[in-house]
Structure 1
Amino acid sequence: MARNPFTPTFGVSPPLLVGRSDLLDDFVAALEDGPGAPGRMTLYTGARGTGKTVMLNEVEDLARRQGWRVISETATEGLVNRLVREHLPALLSEIDPDGSETKVTGVSAPMGLGGAAWATSEAHEVAPALRTQLTAACDLLAGNGAGLLLTLDEIHHQVVPELREVATVLQHLVREEREIAFVGAGLPSAVSAVLNDDVLTFLRRADRHSLGPVALPEVATAITEPIEHADRRIAPELAARAAEATGGYPFLIQLIGYHIWRQQPRHRDVSGDDVEAGIVAARRRLGSLVHEPALADLPGVARTFLLAMAHDDGPSKMSDIASRLNVDANYASQYRLRLIASELIEPVGHGWVDFTMPYLRDYLREHVALDAQRELPPGDASSNVVERD
């Protein structure tokens, strides 16, 4: 029996990536076009499950095929320390093993907390200074016709001080026309909060791409080809049905494909019952994997706004939402803008909004009961917000 080809795990690249070829082509062109190409500084944003980390995986692979070296990190506390004490010394030693000998001569605090004294010799200096090390790495790689790609996942405002340092150094390297590229990824609200920092204006000029749904014909291909490569078959109309159920949502492509495969893995032909059962199983798992974490990040009133939308079977009228929340139109509009920025809802005409995430309406109806009042300060204007059955 062949192994299930689908990979419904966050950050794991799917067997066939679809719907992102234009963005990936732009990145490769930027590497080939040389310093100053706009695509060398890129940010990917999108809701959970839209494939941000997968895009980082892909650009890293593409850069390596071009002969570039890659440093892959997550924007968490200690980022700069990890770069200057782990990634960059290792990279410099690898690309120029005979150029210097770097060793720790003394430690006044535990490693990772600062306090290490560094000694270097010969061709280049490897010191705990981000700009020094990145410049040295770029110069060495440029001599071999390559460059350095730094990727940062989960960009968040909680590490703004470290992101400032990274962005400042990147700005200098770009101005000096070094062979450097940067690609970051994060939730829309988190990236927007970072870009609003007065010091991080450099990153505002990066190419910014919002990862949305994938076209359904491409989704059908992403379901059909892995099944066929594993020596099973799925009829075109069944693949189309599975694609329709994903709503073009990238993570759901893998989740539905995975559960369709699991129904009767020893049968060569995927049946209509397999597809329907797989869709049901995937929808059930989507709630705990995606919807629940997405709602957990929201303030109570924003979640109640979504509950008010869930009363409708299709797009919701803003005046109806305000009435259900017992607030005025201006107050409702504030949360409308916040939820649009989070890419959980989208405008679908003047005065109308709808959910962007597949099955979120169903999840809200079936699982969520929130008390928005408990998160509001006394006397807040939103204290009029109530939930209605």
Structure 2
Amino acid sequence: MVFPANPFKPTAGVMPPVLIGRESISADFSEGLDDGPGAPDRLMLITGPRGSGNTVMLTELGLIAKKRHWIVIDETASAGLCDRLIARIAPQAGRVADATLKPAFMGLSLGELTFTPAMRPSTLRDAIAARLNSLGKGKGLLVTIDETQDASLEDMTAIATAAQHMLRENAEVAFVFAGLPSLTSDLLNAKVLTFLRRASIKELGDVSLVDVRLALARTIRHAGVSIDDPALDAATKATGGYPYMIQLAGYHMWRQARRRTEGPADTITIDDVRSGVEQARARLGEGVCAPVVKRLSDRSVDYLRAMAQDDGPSVTSEVAKRMHESMDYANIYRQRLLDEHIIAAVSRGKVDFAIPFLREYLRSMGE
């Protein structure tokens, strides 16, 4: 038997073969579109740590909208976000196609439109209105913004203002923002963005191991490959329910089985799983954990290393002792790590890692 193509997709933003543990979000969004203007899930905020599936979720919601013949505009937050949205939403991209837009357009440079900050909200609003007017009955416009935590306050203010007006006017529009957990504490606490506090907030956590096991079995066996229960259980447990690890572990154990020269040719064995999981953990450390640790100060890393000595939540007073510092001093770094959502306060006097597998990565650094 020629081993089938690998169905697992551990690439950022690429749709996995089976979307698991997120069905309720898709259902809420679908109902929001079907229920018409005013439905709360037409304004949605999706948050979760890196690797939890924010981008994949935006892709899924975009597909739902496209099936209803909606126009979908996908953007990632970076400098010039609002200007790019205006140019892409306008009925004829890059050019003014409606007379109502002309007063707000302030210049033309190298084929790209530029705008003054003060006029961005009304310009974006007019661009959306003009695009909706160009669509047929029953169609609408979905705008998705990924990595929203990286957006400037100026751009987010313009987008929130335009969205507020369009939703108030019962326009056929929907807005979905996705970003890291810090998004809720940073952008939403700004006075100018109080409107976004009304968004339907969806927090992406770990997937239940029951769902993980079902999804792994379905994906593997649907491709005509066998896996026995012990191997399936080992693979399931190794993922910890972390969406990115599900894809990584699946990808590497599949590749290990395909490259193996001895043993059953159409089966993923327990040895394939063990080897694949080991490779997946290394890739996870390189792709997710290492960048987080690299940008921290030495003492912040020391705080994390002290936490990593525990198998579960750490007592903050014990962390300070391990750092050989006073509680007041250690709490400076505790608060910084909390603010960056690298750790979480799970109960009074206790903290735990907010990034999956960061504990294991820190332990491996000391080996």
Q: Does the pair score TM above 0.5?
A: yes
Q: Aligned ranges for residues 248-259 of structure 1 at < 5 Å?
A: 248-259=241-252
Residues 201-240 of structure 1 correspond to what in structure 2 (within 5 A)?
201-240=194-233
Matches within 5 A, 1:74-113: 74-90=76-92, 109-112=109-112
Gap change, CA 1:268 and 1:318, over 3 Å in 2: same
Q: For 1:46 and 1:220, how far apart are their aligned partners in 2?
A: 22
Aligned residues: 351
Is residue 69–residue 147 contact of structure 1 (8 Å, CA) maintained in 2?
A: yes
Alignment of 1:335-354 (within 5 A): 335-340=333-338, 342-354=340-352
Whether 2:287 is the aligned partner of 1:289: answer yes
- Is the alpha carbon distance of 1:301 and 1:167 closer, same or farther for their aligned partners in structure 2, counting shifts above 3 Å? farther
On the 8 A contact 1:130/1:169 being kept in 2, the answer is: yes
Q: Distance in 2 between matches of 1:191 and 1:295?
A: 22
Alignment pair present for 1:67 and 2:60: no
Equivalent residue for 1:37?
39
Per-residue CA deviations over 1:332-374 (Å, capped at 9, x if unaligned) read 45544554454433444442222243432221122279xxxxx
- SS at the partner of 1:261? helix
Aligned residue in 2 for 1:264: 257
Task: Give the alignment of 1:236-247 within 5 angstroms.
Answer: 236-247=229-240
Q: Structure 1's 71 and 318: CA in aligned 2 closer, same or farther, altered over 3 A?
A: same
Quote the offset at 1:309 in angstroms. Answer: 0.2
Deviation at 1:214, TM superposition (A): 0.1
Query: Counterparts of 2:228 and 2:125 in 1: how far apart (Å)?
Result: 56
**TM score, norm. by length of structure 2:** 0.86
- Residue 277 of structure 2 corresponds to 279
**Aligned-pair distance for 1:140?**
4.2
Does the CA contact (< 8 Å) of 2:15 and 2:56 recur in 1? yes
Instruction: Give the Cα–Cα distance (whole angstroms) in 1 for the partners of residues 41 and 48 of structure 2.
Output: 18
Alpha-carbon separation, structure 1, partners of 2:108 and 2:219: 54
Counterpart contact for 1:27–1:40, Cα < 8 Å:
yes
Q: Which of the numbers 136, 146, 150 marks the counterpart of 2:143?
A: 150
Q: Residue 352 of structure 2: SS of its match in structure 1?
A: strand
What does residue 373 of structure 1 align with? none
Distance 1:70 1:241, change over 3 A: same
Secondary structure of the residue aligned to 1:195 is coil
Displacement of 1:43 after TM fit? 0.8
Q: Which residue of 2 aligns with 1:372?
A: none
Amino acid at match of 2:357: Y
1:285 alignment partner, SS class? helix
CA distance in structure 2 between the partners assigned to 1:27 and 1:321 by the alignment:
43
CA RMSD of aligned residues (A): 2.9
Comparing 330-339 and 55-64, the one that deviates more: 330-339
Q: Does the CA contact (< 8 Å) of 2:306 and 2:319 recur in 1?
A: yes
Residues 114/177 of structure 1: CA separation in 2 closer, same or farther (3 Å cut):
same
Letter in 1 for 2:252: H
Work out the CA distance in 2 between the residues paired with 1:168 and 1:319. 45
State the distance in 2 between where 1:148 and 1:216 align: 36
- How many angstroms does 1:15 deviate by? 0.5
Partner Cα distance (1:205, 1:332) in 2: 36
Deviation by residue 1:306-341 (Cα, 9 ceiling, x = unmatched)? 111012233311110122234444554554455445
Who is 2:312 aligned against?
314
Once the two structures are superposed, the pairs formed by residues 152-171 of structure 1 within 5 Å of their partners are: 152-171=145-164
- Between 1:342-351 and 1:162-171, the stretch displaced more is 342-351
SS at match of 2:177: strand
CA deviation map 1:34-63 (0-9, x unaligned): 212111111111111000000000000011
| Structure 2 letter corresponding to 1:252 | M
The verdict on how the C-alpha distance between 1:325 and 1:112 changes in structure 2, with shifts beyond 3 A counting, is: farther
In structure 1, the gaps of 5 or more residues are 116-127, 370-389
Aligned counterpart, 2:129: 135
* 3-state SS of paired residue (1:282): helix
- Superposed displacement of residue 228, structure 1: 1.4
SS at match of 2:227: coil
In the alignment, the residues of structure 1 paired with residue 366 and residue 154 of structure 2 have an alpha-carbon distance, to the nearest angstrom, of: 36
Cα 1:77/1:348, change in 2 over 3 Å: closer
Q: Residue 195 in 1 paired to residue 195 in 2? A: no
CA separation of 1:247 and 1:357: change in aligned 2, threshold 3 A: farther
State the distance in 2 between where 1:368 and 1:209 align. 36
The residue number in structure 2 matching 1:386 is none
Stretches of structure 2 that go unaligned for 5 or more consecutive residues are 116-121, 260-264
Shift of 1:273: 0.5
- Per the alignment, do residues 40 and 251 of structure 1 end up closer, same or farther by CA in structure 2, a change over 3 Å counting? same
How far apart are residue 299 of structure 1 and its match?
A: 4.6
Contact 2:73 / 2:88 at 8 angstroms: preserved in 1? no
- More deviation, 37-46/357-366: 357-366
Q: Is contact 1:319–1:329 with CA below 8 Å preserved after alignment? A: yes
Of 170, 188, 201, which aligns to 1:177?
Answer: 170
* Cα contact 1:46–1:343 (8 A) shared by 2: no
Relative to the length of structure 1, the TM-score reads 0.82
